[in-house]
Amino acid sequence: MDKLPSVPYTPSPAAASSTSTSTPDPGRTPFKYKCMLRDDTRGTTFLARLDSGANIVVKYVERYGVEVHRTLADAGYAPKLLYFGSPYPDIAGYSYTGAHMVVMEYIEGETSPESLTEDECDALSDAVDVLHRAGYVNGDVRVLNLILPVDGGVKIIDFDWAGKDGEVVYPSDLTEGVVWHPEVDPKSQRTLIAIRKEHGRFMLRQLLSEV
């Protein structure tokens, strides 16, 4: 457990997001980290457990499309977002400028699926349409960012490259070997490229052709 972040107190995942109609608990909700799920240049993700026994996912990221996540969660195409903000929300006078804390429900299911059914492909296409109609994009809708819940359906679980169409940009360290939209060159050293809807449609076609 020595790789887990050291914080002076347990962060507060119980703070309701703006899509909630009520706050389940105005105080802190303690949790314990169980294991690390992912650790890469975009952030660190952990599986954690609340005192109630429920599992949650806790992420620490530099950038995050929180409104995109909320939009898809409302439509049933993403895990419920439980908290987004500072890991230190209740330390008076403390100004934190580091990574954002993201807490979402844990979904039991198959991650990075090797194949999708016709219904799952249709659901994924609808999820992308939901985003585009709302004026949002997600530049990283790939198999590794999908989960197939045990009770059916498909959910997108990564929103680091998500935001408003034409405003959010790709990171400078794009993975080479991935077939990106022709306008997106991982080797380019020029100004960061804005993510557009047509990029999302291109990536969706690539994904559906592979599964």
Domain that holds residue 162: 109-210
Counting the structural domains of the chain, the total is: 2
DSSP category for residue 135: T
Of the three residues 105, 129, 153, the one that is the final residue of a domain is: 105
For residues 186 and 127, state if they share a domain. yes
Structural domain contains residue 26: no
For residues 162 and 196, state if they share a domain. yes
Contact (CB, 8 A) for 118 and 40: no
Reported as a single tens digit per residue, the pLDDT across 150-186 is 999 999 999 999 999 999 999 888 888 888 999 888 8
Q: Both tokens of residue 191? A: 């100004």
Structural domain contains residue 90: yes
What is the pLDDT, as a whole number, of residue 76? 98
Q: How far apart are CA 74 and CA 27, in angstroms?
A: 25
Structural domain contains residue 3: no
Q: Which residues neighbour 106 within 8 Å (Cβ) at sequence distance 6 or greater?
A: 47, 54, 55, 56, 57, 79
pTM of the model: 0.82
What is the pLDDT, as a whole number, of residue 4? 36
For residues 179 and 100, state if they share a domain. no
Helices (DSSP H) in 78-117: which residue ranges? none
For residues 144 and 159, state if they share a domain. yes
- CATH code assigned at 36: 3.30.200
What is the pLDDT, as a whole number, of residue 191? 65
For residues 96 and 120, state if they share a domain. no
What is the pLDDT, as a whole number, of residue 90? 63
Contact (CB, 8 A) for 97 and 74: no
- CATH code assigned at 160: 1.10.510.10
What is the pLDDT, as a whole number, of residue 43? 82
Reduced to 3 states (helix: H, G, I; strand: E, B; else coil), residue 125 is helix
Structural domain contains residue 131: yes
What is the pLDDT, as a whole number, of residue 93? 56
Reduced to 3 states (helix: H, G, I; strand: E, B; else coil), residue 151 is coil
Q: At residue 21, what is the residue type?
A: T
For residues 205 and 116, state if they share a domain. yes
User: Mean pLDDT, 10 residues at a time, over the chain (211 residues)?
Assistant: 37 36 49 87 86 91 95 98 82 66 94 94 98 97 96 96 96 85 78 91 94 81
